[in-house]
């Protein structure tokens, strides 16, 4: 396979995955659970196809709103960034399949034992999930509590309560609405394999630069390493080639909410073998790593090509937004030439 086709194929694969998931979103498949109990929400399956507009999760830490926009769900509190559509569909399907197994307590002072108290109470582990139609009308709403793992079958159980109803239930089925941003975000920011990268130039806030490039032997080397200086490891330069491999977000915010001061911002300019450029800026706020991403397609790149579409998608994802990423994924951006040198007594 020629190098210049790698990035294009990577973009095509990503686009195909999105289209496959979108098909599931538009045609959710819901099957009634086996069991002797009645469905918690009879008739919900038939309503979901065309009417579901929003999924809202309320918990002690705040609210998560996932709004349907065509074949996409958008995370309202995270700059309307796309949510993971499969996770949203799975949650809705799980709710539609719930069946009542056994009535439990109807005493409010005992709700806490099942995590079924008011979800907005401080310290509460309960979550209230509400499905809304396009008119804002509730299609279904329930308070989700602890899970039960001892039913003896493939499916577990979940303790639930309907708002306004004192009765609690053990229901057949597993409903597990996460409350962290990364539980719902479409986490993939960019995934460029090292075979598609030609050169990486990293600049620190003090202006120090590290330039890593692919040589004729297909291996990365540090271009501006002083003569007679060796690297700490034979694999050090290769780390720069993986700088955009599998980069995922733990959180997302509007760009205006996270400052990127010049004296605290690291920059990586990544040139691909086909001539496109991806720029990543990184800063740290309260020990968390935040990045900005921008993309410039190669001159003359056909707009209909998968590579061009991948670049356009990256540009759209990064526009007006910043991403919190795991610190280890961008740690290489903080290293200077002095950091990369082998230390006395250290083998290369």
For residue 126 the two structure tokens come to: 């309960």
DSSP class of residue 196 equals G
Q: Provide block-wise average pLDDT over 10 residues at a time, the chain (348 residues).
A: 44 38 39 62 87 96 95 93 93 94 95 96 96 95 91 76 96 93 94 94 97 93 88 88 95 96 97 95 97 94 88 92 96 93 61
Q: 222: how many CB neighbours lie within 10 A of its CB?
A: 18
* Residue 155, C-beta contacts closer than 8 angstroms, at least 6 positions apart: 33, 172, 173, 174
DSSP class of residue 341 equals B
CA–CA separation, 84 and 184 (whole Å): 6
DSSP class of residue 97 equals H
Backbone angles phi, psi at 43, to 5 degrees: 85, -5
For residue 319 the two structure tokens come to: 């526009």
SS3 216: coil
For residue 339 the two structure tokens come to: 């950091």
CA–CA separation, 141 and 162 (whole Å): 7
Helices 6-26 and 306-318 pack at an angle, to 10 degrees, of: 70
CA–CA separation, 226 and 51 (whole Å): 64
For residue 340 the two structure tokens come to: 């990369």
Are the CB atoms for 252 and 290 separated by under 8 Å?
Answer: no
CA–CA separation, 181 and 82 (whole Å): 12
What residues pair up with 199 in beta bridges, in sequence order?
213, 271
Q: Is 300 left (phi over 0), alpha (psi -120 to 50) or beta?
A: left
Backbone angles phi, psi at 136, to 5 degrees: 85, 10
For residue 249 the two structure tokens come to: 């977000």
Sort 47 into a burial class: Cβ within 10 Å, 0-12 / 13-18 / 19+. Answer: middle
What's the angle, vertex CA 54, arms to CA 66 and CA 77, rounded to 5? 30
């Amino acid at each position: 396979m020629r190098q210049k086709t790698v990035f294009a194929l990577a973009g095509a694969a990503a686009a195909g995955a999105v289209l496959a998931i979108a098909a599931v979103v538009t045609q959710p498949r819901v099957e009634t659970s086996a069991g002797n109990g009645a469905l918690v929400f009879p008739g919900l399956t038939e309503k979901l196809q065309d009417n579901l507009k929003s999924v809202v999760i309320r918990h002690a830490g705040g609210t998560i709103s996932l709004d349907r926009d065509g074949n996409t769900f958008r995370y309202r509190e995270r700059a309307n960034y796309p949510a993971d559509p499969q996770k949203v569909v799975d949650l809705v399907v799980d709710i539609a399949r719930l069946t009542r197994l056994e009535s439990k307590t109807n005493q409010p002072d005992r709700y806490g034992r099942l995590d079924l108290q008011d979800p907005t109470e401080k310290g509460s582990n309960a979550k209230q999930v509400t499905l809304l139609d396009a008119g804002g009308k509730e299609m279904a709403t329930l308070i989700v509590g602890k899970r039960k793992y001892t039913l003896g079958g493939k499916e577990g159980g979940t303790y639930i309560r309907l708002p306004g109803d004192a009765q609690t239930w053990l229901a057949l089925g597993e409903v597990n609405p996460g409350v962290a941003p990364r539980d719902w975000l479409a986490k993939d920011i960019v995934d460029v394999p090292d075979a598609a990268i030609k050169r990486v130039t990293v600049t620190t806030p003090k202006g120090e630069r590290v330039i890593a490039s692919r040589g004729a032997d297909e291996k990365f080397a540090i271009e501006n390493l002083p003569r007679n200086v060796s690297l700490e490891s034979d694999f050090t330069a290769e780390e720069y080639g993986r700088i955009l491999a599998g980069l995922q977000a733990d959180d997302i915010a509007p760009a205006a909410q996270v400052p990127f001061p010049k004296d605290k911002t690291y920059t990586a300019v990544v040139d691909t073998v086909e001539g496109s450029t991806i720029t990543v800026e990184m800063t740290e706020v309260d020990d968390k790593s935040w990045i900005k991403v921008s993309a410039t397609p190669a001159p003359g790149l056909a707009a209909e090509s998968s590579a061009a579409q991948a670049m356009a998608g990256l540009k759209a994802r990064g526009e007006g937004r910043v991403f919190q990423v795991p610190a280890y994924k961008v740690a290489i951006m903080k290293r200077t030439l002095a950091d990369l040198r082998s230390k006395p007594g250290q083998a290369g």
